[in-house]
């Protein structure tokens, strides 16, 4: 491994290590406890990181192209509940729940994407409207009961940490290959630059958008099912109350884009999810109330966004000052040369 | 000419059929149904069971039809729904939105529109108690919840050993003053009182102050061998992580949840497997499939997942509220109030100390024959059938319904 690659790896690892070190110090000093005190805690954080990373991947597929899909939460709800209810009624268990959730997630994502390209309604507006519609489907199909997996046997495989790690690795590899080794990935980079130029140069931005919506729907439903199997239930909700779990993962998504500078987007998002989950775990160990924890998370997110928007300001200012200093020096030299020529 | 006669006879037949329908309707004189708005804060299986009771038992018995809201959360949502209900012709509202603000605004709007209004909560709002259309409140009894949890805890703590408890207190903070959920508040109150009585604990603060602490943490009990940890709030994922972490320390062996105990089952099973230690779970539950599953499914240590429960009689408050509403709509509103003031009606929950007891309770609230308040019971609470029925009759009935064994005997 050359020096530059080593430096990039170290920078990437530094983030979760730094978060862990800070939270561990705080928890030890304030509560005399560790952030992670057992293998169970490690397993929980791996599961939470995996779920968070998948939602962040789903968000990034559209957001990086300027589309904020507010219906992702509703797609997660609809795909997970309908897939789960169908699997239960068919007497299936285990991995089939994941498969059904994925299929329904892809379906709802596809339909959302199709609605976007046909109606040309701005994504946020469409997201609100179609999200309200998607929330009705699981409500109706489950008769308001949602998905209850309490006491359902055969779900141990989904709760297994190794399985979660395997799913996350497969998803991360898929996103990496898609973004960096396929025509789709190159088109995505072009569209992120300029949709008009991309369209004029022959890229079908509409089919690209549909694919992004489809994949995003599938990813958030995978995450939804993994979470639901652990907590045993997912309640139907209306009025876009389902968007909470998605909005919570904006921070890992944005942070992942930043950390990805040193590696790539896929690894960046996973590392960022780990950082945010370590922070949450630390705040729970510190015994902060739910409200105070939310405030801390939100303030850190806003500070990060401020940093992101202004990170080149100081560098630009320094470069400007160097240019001014250099220009002044050149003028002095020229003035001296001119004065010397006059004397002669 | 023939065509003209044919047309004439056809017209006559059509007019005749119209008149026939008209006179048929006059002869039957069907009484119009009372339209009642139901403003709910619930969703899920529990709520569907209650809706079924409203539609299939209360509706036909009390000649009512119901207009249900989606899940509401605050006063604004309640008032918006009541406006729509009023426009749709509703004559009364049964509200589940429990905050003081919601009760006050709802009662005032109902008074303005001439709608009767009753709230399902556990605290009397004195500011609007005097409004003529406010029929009061019906909710979990403070002492009832406390007693039920004390009973349910009793068996768990009766082995003479020291036990340490982790309590997920939900919306207990502010529950006594209408800011949170009163049932959660009084449940935790009952648990802390039971622990204090059993182990002669000396809390560093009053029980009220302990419950109203918004930060999770350990309660100072004055006994190093008996620990109590309280996690307040509605953040289930956070509570799960906290519970897992605390139980992993080995200090705690009883988990109590005022709602959603099933969400913690997998996390606590993991701890049981890891420490090879049984963790008892006690929670607030209802008569539903999930509770049956809890009492019949085994955890990694071979014990049932759910060890004890405080069962909310799901439909008792619904039946009482609907009966009070019917009495008001049939001109007996004064009989449902105490000297012109709204009354707080208290529903007592049932303590279920194990699977055997639940087997009997699970047969209730399934059908007309097993509803705790079915049509025969409801008719005895109506002033039109018995002019002697007053609010005291309702209170007496609720006291009778506290004895689950008597109910099981009556319904078997």
* Mean pLDDT to the nearest integer, A327-343: 86
* Mean pLDDT to the nearest integer, B363-391: 91
Among A19, A57, A66, A112, residue whose Cα is nearest residue A249:
A57
| B195 pLDDT more than 80 | yes
pLDDT tens-place string over residues B86-126: 999 999 999 999 888 999 999 999 999 999 999 998 888 99
% chain B with pLDDT above 90: 62
Q: Sheet containing B280-285: which strands, arranged edge to edge?
A: B217-219, B228-232, B165-170, B254-257, B280-285, B308-311, B350-352
pLDDT of residue A288: 92
pLDDT of residue B13: 62
Query: For residue A238, which residues of chain B lie inside 8 Å, CB to CB?
Result: 43, 70-71
CB contact burial A277-296 (16+ within 10 A = b; e otherwise): bbbbbbbbbbbbbbeebeeb
| B2 pLDDT more than 70 | no
Alpha-carbon distance of A129 to A120, in angstroms, equals 13
Query: For residue B241, which residues of chain A lie inside 8 Å, CB to CB?
Result: 41, 44, 280-281, 284
Domain(s) of CATH 3.40.50.2300: residues in chain B: 34-140+314-348+369-403, 143-311
pLDDT of residue B404: 86
Query: For residue A39, which residues of chain B lie inside 8 Å, CB to CB?
Result: 274
| B278 pLDDT more than 60 | yes
Q: How far is CA A184 from the centre of its chain?
A: 19
pLDDT of residue B26: 39
Closest-CA residue in chain B for A156? B266
Task: Classify B257 as helix, strand or coil.
Answer: strand
B21 falls in which pLDDT band (50, 70, 90)? very low
Among B372, B382, B378, residue whose Cα is nearest residue B406:
B372
Q: Is B270 on the interface with A (CB under 8 A)?
A: yes
Query: For residue B263, which residues of chain A lie inside 8 Å, CB to CB?
Result: 231-233
Task: Classify B65 as helix, strand or coil.
Answer: strand
| A33 pLDDT more than 80 | yes
- How close is the nearest chain B Cα to the Cα of A45, in Å? 9
Q: B276, B251 in Cβ contact below 8 A?
A: no
| B11 pLDDT more than 70 | no
| B28 pLDDT more than 60 | no
Closest-CA residue in chain A for B229? A287
Closest-CA residue in chain B for A161? B270
Answer yes or no: do A40 and B271 touch at CB < 8 A. Answer: yes
pLDDT of residue A339: 85
B22 falls in which pLDDT band (50, 70, 90)? very low
pLDDT tens-place string over residues B199-232: 999 999 999 999 999 999 999 999 999 999 999 9
pLDDT tens-place string over residues A86-140: 999 999 988 999 999 999 999 999 999 999 999 999 999 999 999 999 999 998 8
| B14 pLDDT more than 60 | no
| Element (DSSP H or E) covering residue A6 | helix A3-31
Name the more confident of B273 and B367.
B273
Kindly report the average pLDDT of chain B as a whole number: 88
pLDDT tens-place string over residues A271-308: 999 999 999 999 999 999 889 999 999 999 999 999 99
Q: Is B265 on the interface with A (CB under 8 A)?
A: yes
Query: For residue B71, which residues of chain A lie inside 8 Å, CB to CB?
Result: 237-239, 241
Answer yes or no: do B267 and A287 touch at CB < 8 A. Answer: no
Alpha-carbon distance of B212 to B209, in angstroms, equals 5
A4 falls in which pLDDT band (50, 70, 90)? confident
B5 falls in which pLDDT band (50, 70, 90)? low
| B128 pLDDT more than 70 | yes
- The lowest-confidence range among A245-259, B168-182, B387-401 is B168-182
Residue pointed to by tokens 């022959």: A202
Residue B195, token pair as written in the block: 């622990």
* Inter-chain CB pairs, A–B, below 8 Å: 108
| B265 pLDDT more than 60 | yes
Query: For residue B216, which residues of chain A lie inside 8 Å, CB to CB?
Result: 284, 287, 289
Answer yes or no: do B44 and A236 touch at CB < 8 A. Answer: yes
pLDDT tens-place string over residues A48-76: 999 999 999 999 999 988 899 999 999 99
* Mean pLDDT to the nearest integer, A256-262: 92
Alpha-carbon distance of B148 to B386, in angstroms, equals 33
Q: Where are the domains of chain A?
A: 36-248
Q: Which of B236, B248, B263 sits opposite A40 (nearest CB)?
A: B248
DSSP A60-85: HHHHTTT---TTHHHHHHHHHHHHHH
Helices B316-327 and B45-53: angle between axes, nearest 10 degrees: 40
pLDDT of residue B142: 72
Kindly report the average pLDDT of chain A as a whole number: 92
* Mean pLDDT to the nearest integer, A310-339: 91
Q: Is B242 on the interface with A (CB under 8 A)?
A: yes
pLDDT of residue A189: 87
pLDDT tens-place string over residues B326-352: 999 999 999 999 999 999 999 999 989
Residue A75, token pair as written in the block: 């797609």
Task: Look up the CATH superfamily of B143-311.
Answer: Response regulator (3.40.50.2300)
Alpha-carbon distance of B324 to B318, in angstroms, equals 10
pLDDT of residue B164: 95
Task: Look up the CATH superfamily of B34-140+314-348+369-403.
Answer: Response regulator (3.40.50.2300)
Residue A308: which residues within 8 A CB-CB, separation 6 or more? A254, A258
pLDDT of residue B9: 64
DSSP A277-313: HHHHHHHHHTT--HHHHHHHHHHHHHHHHHHHHHTTH
DSSP B221-241: -S-TT--EEEEESS-HHHHHH
pLDDT of residue A1: 60
pLDDT tens-place string over residues A138-186: 988 887 778 999 988 888 888 888 999 999 999 999 999 998 899 998 8
- How close is the nearest chain A Cα to the Cα of B47, in Å? 8
Query: For residue B232, which residues of chain A lie inside 8 Å, CB to CB?
Result: 289-290
């Amino acid at each position: 491994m050359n020096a530059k690659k080593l430096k990039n790896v170290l920078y990437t690892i530094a983030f979760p290590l730094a978060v862990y070190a800070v939270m561990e110090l705080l928890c030890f000093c304030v509560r005399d406890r560790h952030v992670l005190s057992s293998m169970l805690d490690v397993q929980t954080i791996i599961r939470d990181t995996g779920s968070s990373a998948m939602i962040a991947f789903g968000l990034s597929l559209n957001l990086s192209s300027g589309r904020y899909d507010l219906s992702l939460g509703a797609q997660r709800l609809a795909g997970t509940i309908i897939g789960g209810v169908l699997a239960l009624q068919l007497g299936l268990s285990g991995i089939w729940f994941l498969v059904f959730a994925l299929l329904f997630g892809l379906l709802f994502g596809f339909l959302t994407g199709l609605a976007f390209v046909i109606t040309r309604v701005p994504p946020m507006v469409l997201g609100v409207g179609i999200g309200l519609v998607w929330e009705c489907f699981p409500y109706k199909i489950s008769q308001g009961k949602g998905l209850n997996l309490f006491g359902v046997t055969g779900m141990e495989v989904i709760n297994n940490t190794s399985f979660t790690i395997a799913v996350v690795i497969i998803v991360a590899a898929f996103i990496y290959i898609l973004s960096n080794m396929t025509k789709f990935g190159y088109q995505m980079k072009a569209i992120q630059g300029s949709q008009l130029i991309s369209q004029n140069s022959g890229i079908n931005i509409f089919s690209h958008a549909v694919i992004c919506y489809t994949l995003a729907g599938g990813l958030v439903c995978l995450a939804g099912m993994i979470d639901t199997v652990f907590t045993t239930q997912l309640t139907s909700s209306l009025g876009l109350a389902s968007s909470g779990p998605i909005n919570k993962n904006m921070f890992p998504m944005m942070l992942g884009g930043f950390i990805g500078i040193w590696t790539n987007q896929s690894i960046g998002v996973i590392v960022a999810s780990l950082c945010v989950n370590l922070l949450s775990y630390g705040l729970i160990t510190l015994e902060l109330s739910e409200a105070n924890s939310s405030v801390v998370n939100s303030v850190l997110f806003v500070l990060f966004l401020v940093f992101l928007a202004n990170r080149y300001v100081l560098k630009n200012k320094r470069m400007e000052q160097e240019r001014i200093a250099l220009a002044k020096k050149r003028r002095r030299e020229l003035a001296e040369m001119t004065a010397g020529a006059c004397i002669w | 000419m023939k065509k003209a006669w044919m047309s004439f006879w056809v017209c006559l037949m059509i007019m005749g059929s119209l008149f026939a329908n008209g006179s048929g309707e006059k002869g039957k004189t069907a009484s119009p149904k009372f339209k009642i708005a139901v403003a709910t804060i619930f969703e899920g299986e529990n709520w569907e069971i209650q809706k079924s009771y409203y539609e299939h038992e209360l509706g036909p018995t009390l000649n009512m039809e119901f207009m249900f809201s989606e899940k509401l959360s605050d006063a604004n949502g309640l008032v918006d729904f009541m406006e729509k209900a009023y426009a749709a012709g509703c004559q009364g509202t049964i509200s589940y939105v429990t905050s003081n603000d919601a009760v006050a605004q709802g009662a005032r709007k109902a008074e303005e529109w001439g709608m009767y209004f009753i709230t399902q909560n556990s605290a009397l709002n004195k500011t609007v108690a005097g409004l003529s259309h406010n029929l009061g409140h019906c909710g979990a009894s403070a002492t009832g919840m406390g007693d039920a949890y004390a009973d349910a805890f009793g068996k768990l703590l009766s082995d003479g050993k020291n036990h340490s408890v982790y309590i997920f207190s939900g919306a207990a903070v502010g529950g006594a003053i209408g800011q949170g959920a009163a049932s959660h508040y009084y449940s935790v109150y009952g648990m802390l009182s039971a622990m204090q009585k059993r182990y002669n604990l000396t809390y560093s603060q009053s029980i009220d102050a302990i419950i109203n602490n918004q930060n999770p943490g350990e309660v100072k009990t004055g006994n190093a061998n008996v620990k109590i940890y309280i996690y307040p709030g509605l953040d289930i994922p956070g509570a799960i992580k906290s519970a897992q972490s605390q139980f992993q320390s080995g200090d705690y062996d009883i988990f109590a949840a005022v709602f959603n105990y099933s969400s913690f089952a997998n996390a606590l099973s993991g701890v049981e497997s890891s420490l090879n230690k049984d963790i008892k779970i006690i929670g607030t539950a209802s008569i539903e499939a999930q509770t049956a599953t809890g009492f019949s499914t085994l955890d990694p240590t071979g014990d049932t997942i759910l060890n004890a429960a405080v069962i909310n009689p799901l439909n008792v408050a619904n039946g009482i509220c609907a009966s009070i509403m019917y009495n008001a709509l049939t001109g007996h509103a004064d009989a449902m109030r105490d000297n012109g003031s709204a009354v707080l009606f208290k529903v007592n929950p049932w303590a279920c100390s194990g699977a055997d007891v639940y087997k009997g309770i699970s047969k209730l609230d399934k059908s007309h024959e097993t509803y705790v308040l079915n049509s025969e019971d409801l008719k005895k609470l109506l002033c039109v059938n018995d002019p002697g029925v007053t609010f005291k009759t309702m209170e007496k009935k609720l006291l009778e319904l506290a004895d689950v064994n008597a109910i099981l005997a009556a319904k078997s």
